[in-house]
Amino acid sequence: MSELRIGLVGTGGIGRTHIERINTKLQGAKVVACADPAAAFGLSIAEKFGIKGYEDPIAMINDPEIDAIINTTADEYHEQFVMAAIKAGKYVFCEKPLAPKADACKRIVEAEMAAGKKLVQVGFMRRYDAGYRQLKEAIETRKYGEPLLLHCAHRNPEVPDSWDNSSAVENSMVHEIDVLRWLLGENYKTAEVRYGKATSKAKEGLHDPQIMILTTESGVRIDVESFVCNGQCYDIRCEVVCEDAIMNLPKPATIEVLANTVRGNAVDADWSTRFVDAYNTEFQAWINGCKEGRVDGPTAWDGYCCQVAAAAASKARDTQTIVDVVYDEMPDFYK
Ligand code: ISE
């Protein structure tokens, strides 16, 4: 296959960024078509990018001129378009979460197993961040001994009006739920969410900040601060306390600026700049994998595991208790 022909469904902000990224920066693929559940909107974006527009996303997914699918629709549409891609036997990249509920993720897992081939990759871009990869290597090789504790933070300057109290776990800390499971190479055992003293800057109905506490099967204890209306900047932290050393996720390098009697470094305003390199690496790897006939990023099973833990954390928050994280047994297909 010379160039992978991608059809993208879901032409909101993140979808448009991925079209731009693939068509101008990456190699070996082009987004040649797009569609959106809001048909007229999808067609207008197709015109803007000079690519083919489809009124019906399913028609695009089934078109033999399309080799692979990117699904960047709103979360509630994820399942139906991932299922359609599996049915068409096409590779599909789905932005996180694979689906909002674990049972929907499980249906996707089952459909993929029935198709007999891994086709689905979930958009957990942090696994492609250079800093997290360095941490993973040090943890895997036990260079500094066993990891014991993780202290993490996920801070956003502001969040959309659509956010409610569940969004901190289900929209934001799902990144930590995935990337820390991957870093440590083990599943979670319990989840808990407690509240900090509330900022007056969050809209009504959203208690901010929140602290999620997870334990893993081997007993590693993790705390994640989610402070999504901090009004300052996008700040992602991950400190890993090991038996022989303390490791910290490196901060992206930026120029040091001396101005107005202050010396400092610019910080990210949001996730799109903080993780831009990770997104580029993630999509280049996905394109290469599709062309070589494999999925080597986060699988549908990883997407399912993430939503199981997110559901436990949400329940823990709503009941202010500690909730067990209980997964189904991992099928051989994903081992
Ligand atoms: C957003 O959807 C993301 O994926 C970002 O990485 C995260 O920081 C943000 O909180 C989410 O809303």
Residue 330 neighbours by CB distance under 10 Å? 13
Residue 125 has pLDDT above 80, yes or no: yes
172 lines ligand 1 (CB under 6 A): yes
Q: Tell me the CA–centroid distance for residue 197 and ligand 1, in Å.
A: 22
Model pLDDT, residue 1 = 72
Q: Tell me the CA–centroid distance for residue 82 and ligand 1, in Å.
A: 21
Model pLDDT, residue 229 = 97
Our separate counts of H helices and E strands in the chain read 11, 15
Which residue's alpha carbon is at the smallest distance from atom 7 of ligand 1?
172
Residue 176 has pLDDT above 90, yes or no: yes
CA atoms within 13 A on the CB side of 56: 5
Model pLDDT, residue 190 = 99
Q: Tell me the CA–centroid distance for residue 117 and ligand 1, in Å.
A: 30
Tokens of 283: 């999509």
Q: Determine the atom of ligand 1 nearest the C-alpha atom of 96.
A: 4
Label the pairing between strands 91-95 and 188-195: unpaired
Tell me the longest C-alpha to C-alpha distance in the chain. Answer: 64
Our mutation pick for probing the ligand 1 site, out of 156, 174, 274, 276, counting the most ligand atoms within 8 A of Cβ, is: 156
Which residue's alpha carbon is at the smallest distance from atom 4 of ligand 1?
172
Do residues 325 and 316 make contact, with C-beta atoms less than 8 angstroms apart? no
Q: Determine the atom of ligand 1 nearest the C-alpha atom of 270.
A: 8
5 lines ligand 1 (CB under 6 A): no
Angle between helix 130-140 and helix 174-184 axes, rounded to 10 deg: 40
Q: Determine the atom of ligand 1 nearest the C-alpha atom of 275.
A: 6
Model pLDDT, residue 319 = 98
d(CA 282, CA 24): 15
Residue 155 has pLDDT above 80, yes or no: yes
Model pLDDT, residue 66 = 98
What letter does residue 205 receive in the DSSP assignment? Answer: T
Which run of H or E residues covers position 242?
strand 235-242
Tokens of 215: 């334990």
Model pLDDT, residue 4 = 98
Residue 217 has pLDDT above 90, yes or no: yes
CA distances from 135 to 271, 296, 327 (A): 20, 19, 26
- Over residues 24-59, the pLDDT tens digits come to 999 999 999 999 999 999 999 999 999 999 999 999
274 lines ligand 1 (CB under 6 A): no
Which run of H or E residues covers position 271?
helix 271-274
pLDDT over 90 percentage in the chain: 96
Tell me, yes or no, if the pTM score tops 0.75: yes
Q: Tell me the CA–centroid distance for residue 15 and ligand 1, in Å.
A: 14
- Over residues 56-100, the pLDDT tens digits come to 999 999 999 999 999 999 999 999 999 999 999 999 999 999 999
For 108-172, what is the HEC assignment? HHHHHHHHCCCCEEEECHHHHCHHHHHHHHHHHCCCCCCEEEEEEEEECCCCCCCCCCCHHHHHH
**Phi, psi for residue 59 in degrees, rounded to 5:** -65, -40
Which residue's alpha carbon is at the smallest distance from atom 3 of ligand 1?
172
Residue 13 has pLDDT above 80, yes or no: yes
156 lines ligand 1 (CB under 6 A): yes
Model pLDDT, residue 40 = 98
Q: What is the mean pLDDT of residues 127-155?
A: 98
Residue 222 has pLDDT above 80, yes or no: yes
pLDDT over 70 percentage in the chain: 100
